[in-house]
């Protein structure tokens, strides 16, 4: 980055609509994402969404803390009291899977990389909190994880890491709407790397939650197009069957 980069970046930020919380800007031919603190005008929204200022600071802190650990998160290239900026890190895995972007060989590589990136968090003793495929970005070479509004060191427990695994696979089934080889590749890659035995723990949790499959069957019949409802039994079966 040149000495003139920050003034150009801040000039671009100044042109953004005030109400736009997350927005892209282009500087020197590269795209960056500006994330601003959210402000709620009503008590109802504050109750529904929680403390926006605390969530914003949790995410900012996470990017700094996790970056210092060498984990795959985007660097913060600029920040102020009410915003921070990160470079664009690629395409969400959910979009790649859903729309079958890229050649199959690269999709498989991306999903293996995603599993290894999640394992890197767990091996470092970090629970992501919500590793949704929408928040795992592929740039053709590496995976970057984003969205750390729920980050809290007190959540860095084995059970929360196991829940990360369940969420990761669940979000893959939501995007895929069924079985796909990319999901198989991700699971195999994580299990190969699983140095701390989280997969068996996730399997035990899945078996404990097995009652949800018959319990939600009437809902699935009433809402056959719900991807989330369809993904639930697939996820629970996958962990229960492979543990």
Same domain for 139 and 202?
yes
Partnered with residue 86 across adjacent β-strands are 33
Domain count, the chain: 2
Same domain for 109 and 29?
no
What CATH number should be reported for the domain holding residue 38? 3.30.200
What CATH number should be reported for the domain holding residue 148? 1.10.510
Residue that finishes a domain, picked among 87, 110, 129? 87
Contact assessment for residue 73 and residue 144, using Cβ atoms and an 8 Å cutoff: yes
Please count the CA atoms within 13 angstroms of the CA of 154 that sit on its side-chain side: 2
Query: pTM of the predicted model, to two decimals?
Result: 0.90
Tell me how many helices (H) and strands (E) the chain has: 11, 7
Same domain for 128 and 219?
yes
pLDDT at res. 1: 64
Domain span including residue 163: 91-241
pLDDT at res. 115: 98
Which residues, given as ranges, of the chain have pLDDT below 50? Answer: 43-45, 47-48
Q: How many CB atoms lie within 10 A of CB 124?
A: 12
Same domain for 22 and 137?
no
Same domain for 122 and 78?
no
Residue that finishes a domain, picked among 87, 102, 122? 87
Per-residue pLDDT reduced to its tens digit, 103-125? 999 999 999 999 999 999 999 99
pLDDT at res. 53: 85
The residue with tokens 């929204």 is 45
SS3 category, 91: strand
Q: Which of 141, 132, 135, 143 is nearest to 235 (CA)?
A: 132
Per-residue pLDDT reduced to its tens digit, 141-189? 999 999 998 888 999 999 999 999 999 999 999 999 999 999 999 999 9
Same domain for 95 and 83?
no
Contact assessment for residue 113 and residue 138, using Cβ atoms and an 8 Å cutoff: yes
Same domain for 138 and 237?
yes
pLDDT at res. 18: 83
Burial (CB < 10 A; 0-12, 13-18, 19+), residue 30, is: exposed
């Amino acid at each position: 980055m040149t000495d003139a980069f920050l003034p150009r970046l801040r000039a671009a930020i100044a042109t953004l609509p005030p109400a736009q919380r997350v927005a892209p800007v282009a500087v020197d031919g590269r795209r960056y994402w500006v994330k601003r603190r959210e402000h709620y005008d009503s008590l109802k929204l504050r109750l529904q969404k929680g403390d926006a200022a605390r969530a914003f600071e949790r995410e900012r802190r996470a990017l700094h803390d996790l970056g210092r650990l060498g984990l795959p998160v985007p660097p913060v290239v600029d920040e102020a009291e009410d915003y921070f900026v990160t470079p664009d890190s690629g395409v969400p895995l959910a979009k790649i899977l859903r729309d079958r972007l890229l050649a199959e060989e690269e999709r498989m590589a991306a999903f293996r990389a995603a599993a290894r990136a999640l394992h890197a968090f767990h091996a470092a003793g970090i629970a992501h909190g919500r590793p949704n495929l929408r928040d795992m970005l592929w740039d053709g070479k590496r995976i970057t994880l984003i969205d750390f509004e729920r980050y809290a060191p007190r959540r860095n427990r084995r059970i929360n890491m196991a829940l990360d695994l369940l969420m990761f696979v669940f979000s893959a089934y939501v995007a895929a709407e069924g079985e796909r080889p990319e999901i198989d590749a991700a699971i195999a890659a994580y299990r190969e790397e699983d140095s701390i035995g989280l997969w068996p723990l996730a399997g035990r949790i899945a078996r404990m939650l097995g009652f949800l499959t018959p319990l939600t069957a009437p809902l699935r019949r009433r809402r056959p197009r719900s991807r989330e409802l369809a993904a639930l039994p697939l996820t629970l079966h996958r962990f229960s069957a492979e543990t």
